[in-house]
Amino acid sequence: MTQGTSFTGARDGLIALIALLSCFVVIDQLRLWGAPVLGAWIRLETQYYFLLIALLLPGAFLIRPSRSRLLDGALGLSALLAPMWLLYHGEAILNEGWEFVAPNHAVLASLALWALVLEAVRRVAGWSLFLISGIFSFYPLIADQMPEMISGMAIGIRETANYHAMSIESIVGLPFRAFATLVIGFVVFGSTLQHTGGGAFFIRLAFAFLGRTRGGAAKVAIVSSGLMGSMSGSVITNVMTTGQLTIPAMRRQGLSNQAAAAVEACASTGGVLLPPIMGSTAFIMATFLEMPYYQVALAALIPSLLYFAALYLQIDAHASKHGIEGLPDSEIPPLQQVLGEGWFYVGAFVLLIVLLLVMQQETLAPWVATAALLVINQLLPQQRMSVADLKQWLSGVGQLLIELLAILAAVGLIVGALSVTGLSGTLVNELLFVAGDQTWILIVMGAVTSFVLGIGLTVTAAYVFLAIVLAPALIEGGLMPLGVHLFILYWGMLSFITPPVALGAFAAASVAGANPVATGFEAMRMGIAIYWIPFLFVVNPSLIGFGPWEQIGLSVLEAVVGILAIAWAAQRFLPKIGPLSVWSAGLLGLGGLLVSLPTLDLEGLRLANSVGNIGGFGLIFLGLAQSIVARLREA
C-alpha cells in the first residue's frame, strides 16, 4: 500500500468517525431516544451548536487538503479547540453578554473561529462564496463610511468578532439552527438512499415505466434526476451522478450531446424544487417563515409539478420533431423485477412522506426512514453492505455534513453583519423607495436581483442571502411571504441553466462532451417554463395552494394550458401536426403567456383575467389554425 493510499484510507476513516459522532450528538440532543446522554455537559442550545461546529469544521481541512499536511493539521486542531472553548464558556457567554463585551481570551477564540470559517468555506465552496461572506463579515468595521444607501452602524474589530462567534444571529444564526435541527437528518437519509443503491433503483424504475415512450431516455432523466435532486439538494452533484447514467442513454437513443446535457441540467435543477425533501433549502425556508415544513412542501408542489410537466412536454415535442422513438425492449428492465428487487426503497420513501406530511414528525421522520432502510438493506443478502461499504457510506455522510456546515456558517457571517449594522432594514427601505408604489416593478427588480446574486453560489447559500437581503422588501410591498421565499429560491437558482455562468449546464456538457455555452442556451429553451412560473405564483396564492379549491383548480388549469402552449412554441413543433413557423410559434407563446397569467390587480398594471383568457385562447387558436392550414397546403 502506498503512502498516499494509506493517507486516503485514514482520512476517510476519520471523516466516517466524524459523521458517526455528529449523528449521535444530533439524535441525542433532539431527544429522539428520550433523555439526552450528554445532558449533563450540554445544558444550553448554543453549547450544542458549538459542539457540532467542533466536530464538523475540522473536517473541511481533511476533505479539501492543501499541499501542507502540517498546516491542515494545525487548522483542523484550531477548528476543534476554538468552538470547544466557546462551548466550555457557554453559560458565561449567555449570562454575561459576551457577544457584546467579552474578555480578551474570548475575543481571541472568536477571531480564530471567524477566520477558520472563512478558510473552510473557501476550500469547500470556492472563491465566490468566500469573497462574498468575507467582505460582508468585515462590513461592520466600515459601515458608517459607506454611501447612504448601504450605510449602517459601525463597530470595532473586537465587537464584530464577538458578535460573529457568540451571538445567535451570525455563525450560529438561523441557517445554522435549521441545519442542526432538521437538515442533518435529511442529508443522512439522502446519502443512505444513494449508498444502498436507491439512486440506481429509481433510475431503473423510471426506465421500466417510461423507457418505451417517445424520447423515453430523456423522460427517464426527468423522473430520476428530479427525485435524486430533491434528496441531494445539489444541482452539480446530481448532474455528475445520475447524469453519468442518463446522458449516455439519451445519446444512444438519438438525442444530440447538447440536448441530452440540457435535459439533465434542467431536470437536476428542478429536483431541488421538488417536494418532499427539496434538498436542505426548504427546511431553512420553514425556519425563516416560522411555519411547519409540510406547509412549505405542499406550497412548492404545484409549481414544481408545472415545471416538470412543461419539461416533459418539451421533450415529447423534441422527440417527435426528430423522430426519436422509445428504447428497445432489451434496454428496459421488467417492472415486476425492478419492484421485486427494490420494493424497500419505495417503502422507505413512503414512510418518510407519511411521517413528514401526514404525522408531521419533521425531526423524527428522516431518522426513522433511514433506520428502516438500513435494517431492511442489511437483512437482504443481495443488498447487504460490507464493513467497507458502511465506512464509505459514513464517509459520504460526513463529507456532505462538513460541506453544508462550512457553507451555512459562512452565510451566517453575512446574516450577522446585516443584523448588527441594521443594513438589512436600510436595503428594504431603499428597494421600496426605488419601486415606489409599483408592485410589478418590485417583482421584476426582485427577479433580476435574485438571478445576479445567485450566480456562482450554491442553492442554499443563494437562498439564505436573498431571504435576508431581498425577501423583506417584497413582503413589505404586499406580496405573500411564502410565495416571496419560493420566488427568490426559483430565481436564485436560474443561474444554473442560464449563460454566462450556467454551472449545471456546463457540468452536464462535460459529461456529454457537448459545447458548454450552446448547452446553456439549449437548457434555457428546455427549461423556459421555470422563468415564468415564479411570476405566476408570487401574485397568485392559488398556485401555491392558498384559497378555495375551485380557484386553485381554475388557476392550475389555466397555468397548464398556458405552459403547454409555451412549451410547443419553444420547440416550434406540434405533435401530430408538425413544425411551426416563427409567426405561429409567436402567437402560441404569447397566447400561452396571457392564458397562464392570473388575475392581476397590481398598481400600474390592471388586466382582467377574463380579458387575458379570451385574448390568450384567441392567439393560441390562431397559431394552431395557421399551422394546420400550412400543413394542409403542403399535403
Kindly report, residue by residue over 498-542, the tens digit of the pLDDT: 888 788 899 899 989 889 989 999 999 998 988 999 998 998 888
**Whether residue 380 has pLDDT greater than 90:** no
- Please report the pLDDT score of residue 631 as a whole number: 62
Q: Rounded to 5 degrees, what angle do the CA atoms 510, 513, 515 make?
A: 85
Q: How confident is the model at residue 616 (pLDDT cuts 50, 70, 90)?
A: low
Q: How confident is the model at residue 321 (pLDDT cuts 50, 70, 90)?
A: confident
Question: Residue for cell digits 476550500?
Answer: 123
CA distance 376 to 386: 14
Q: Are 588 and 568 in contact (CB under 8 A)?
A: yes
pTM: 0.85
CA distance 389 to 130: 34
Q: Please state the rounded mean pLDDT for residues 445-461.
A: 82
CA distance 127 to 129: 6
Q: How many CB atoms lie within 10 A of CB 561?
A: 18
Hey, what amino acid is at 51?
A: L
Name which residue leads in pLDDT, 453 or 632. 453
- Please report the pLDDT score of residue 423 as a whole number: 78
- All structural domains of the chain with their residue ranges: 11-175, 554-635
Instruction: Specify burial of residue 292 (Cβ count, 10 A radius: 0-12, 13-18, 19+).
Output: middle
CA distance 54 to 40: 18
Q: How confident is the model at residue 601 (pLDDT cuts 50, 70, 90)?
A: very low
Q: Please state the rounded mean pLDDT for residues 190-208.
A: 85
Q: How confident is the model at residue 191 (pLDDT cuts 50, 70, 90)?
A: confident
Q: Are 543 and 569 in contact (CB under 8 A)?
A: no
Q: Please state the rounded mean pLDDT for residues 42-47.
A: 90
- Please report the pLDDT score of residue 633 as a whole number: 65
Instruction: Specify burial of residue 226 (Cβ count, 10 A radius: 0-12, 13-18, 19+).
Output: buried
Question: Residue for cell digits 431516544?
Answer: 33
CA distance 209 to 202: 11
**Whether residue 441 has pLDDT greater than 50:** yes
Q: Please state the rounded mean pLDDT for residues 55-65.
A: 94
587-625 residues labelled b (16+ CB within 10 A) or e (exposed)? bbbbbbbbbbbbbeebeeeeeebeebbebbbebbebbbe
Helix (H, G, I), strand (E, B) or coil at 185: helix
- Please report the pLDDT score of residue 241 as a whole number: 81
- Please report the pLDDT score of residue 604 as a whole number: 41
Helix (H, G, I), strand (E, B) or coil at 434: helix
Question: Residue for cell digits 457540532?
Answer: 52
Portion of the chain with pLDDT greater than 70, in percent: 92
- Please report the pLDDT score of residue 627 as a whole number: 67
**Whether residue 607 has pLDDT greater than 60:** no
Q: Are 511 and 269 in contact (CB under 8 A)?
A: no
Average pLDDT over the chain, rounded to an integer: 85
Can you say whether the dihedral through the CA atoms of 406, 410, 413, 414 is positive or negative? negative
Segment of 419-423, 612-616, 627-631 carrying the highest mean pLDDT: 419-423
In the chain, what is the straight-line distance between the N-terminal and C-terminal CA atoms, in Å? 72
**Start-end of H helices in 436-502:** 439-454, 459-469, 471-476, 481-493
Q: Are 494 and 451 in contact (CB under 8 A)?
A: yes
β-pair partners for 606: 601
User: How far apart, in Å, are the Cα atoms of 243 and each of 207, 262, 317, 403, 478?
Assistant: 14, 11, 22, 22, 41
**Whether residue 187 has pLDDT greater than 90:** no
Q: Please state the rounded mean pLDDT for residues 163-175.
A: 91
Q: Are 454 and 492 in contact (CB under 8 A)?
A: yes
Q: Are 116 and 86 in contact (CB under 8 A)?
A: no
Least confident of 288-302, 315-329, 416-430, 551-565: 416-430
Name which residue leads in pLDDT, 500 or 391. 391
Q: Please state the rounded mean pLDDT for residues 220-234.
A: 81
Q: Are 619 and 587 in contact (CB under 8 A)?
A: yes
For residue 430, which of 149, 180, 173 has the smallest C-alpha distance? 149
Q: How confident is the model at residue 431 (pLDDT cuts 50, 70, 90)?
A: confident
Least confident of 88-92, 397-401, 405-409, 451-455: 451-455
Q: Contacts by 9-13 with C-beta closer than 8 Å and gap 24+? A: 11/62, 11/63, 11/65, 12/391, 12/392, 12/395, 13/391, 13/395
Grid cell at residue 218: 430523456
**Whether residue 470 has pLDDT greater than 70:** yes
- Please report the pLDDT score of residue 606 as a whole number: 42
